[in-house]
Amino acid sequence: MKFGVIIFPGSNCDHDAYWTIQQVAHQPVTFLWHESHDLENCDAIIVPGGFAYGDYLRTGAIAKFSPVMESVRKFAAGGGLVMGICNGFQILCESGLLPGALMRNVGLKYVCKPVHIRVENIDTPFTNSCSEGEVLTIPIGHMEGNYFCDDAMLSELSRNRQIVFRYATPTGEITAEANPNGSLDNIAGICNAGHNVLGMMPHPERSAEPELGGTDGFKIFQSLVGAMAEK
């Protein structure tokens, strides 16, 4: 099994994801350049956080036109595993791989702090190492993390169990106070209908080692490794 981590101009969490995969999960990993169509036979693709192309126009709006994302769309359509983190989530929405959009935080301020997220669906390649309803502590760092979609799409996301993570209290309650950015229905992460593409605003690579203050984020990578091993 092999991971690929995309590098865009402006990515700044690519090396964090690479480190976690190589040094913590002990899996083969390579960087994938934004101008290349070649996914180098990777089994899972990470679209990392940062400010791809400077977030000009709006977050992810330029990155969706990159050659590598054309290949990622084909890869995902064939069932390939794709995870977008923070800016990566924004890029996946802009690219049409996930529904909805990420808007500016309520309050219009950049938010950077640990948050609690409740696992809503463990039947995905990204959460199979978690327990249903488990609360994970994972940091966020974003200005545009306010997830939005229309009522029909929200109903579809709920019906298909595509809402994977919700912002919650430490005891797992879904409250307005636990929502750091105004995200619709406290949504912190969703997957596509095929459950092989995940977008999440919290940064699991920033909470994958004790030295970082917590290891809850590693469960996401552990789940991916397990899912890849079963293929």
Integer Cα distance of 118 and 133 in angstroms: 6
Nearest-angstrom CA–CA distance, 108 and 138 = 21
User: How many angstroms separate the CA atoms of 35 and 172, rounded?
Assistant: 42
For the sheet with 29-33, list strands across it. 29-33, 3-7, 44-47, 81-85, 197-200, 187-191, 163-167, 111-119, 135-142
Structure tokens at 37: 């169509």
Closest to 154 (Cα-Cα) out of 88, 84, 85, 100: 100
Active-site residue, selected from the candidate residues 86, 93, 130, 191 = 86
Annotated catalytic, 205? yes
Catalytic option among 116, 142, 195, 203? 203
Q: Based on the residue annotation, tell me whether 86 is a catalytic residue of this protein.
A: yes
Q: Is 37 marked active-site?
A: no
**In the numeric block, which tokens belong to residue 65?**
């036109």
Buried b (16+ CB within 10 A) or exposed e, 205-218: bbbbbeebebbbbb
Angle (CA) 58 30 45, round 5°:
50
The catalytic residue positions are 86, 203, 205
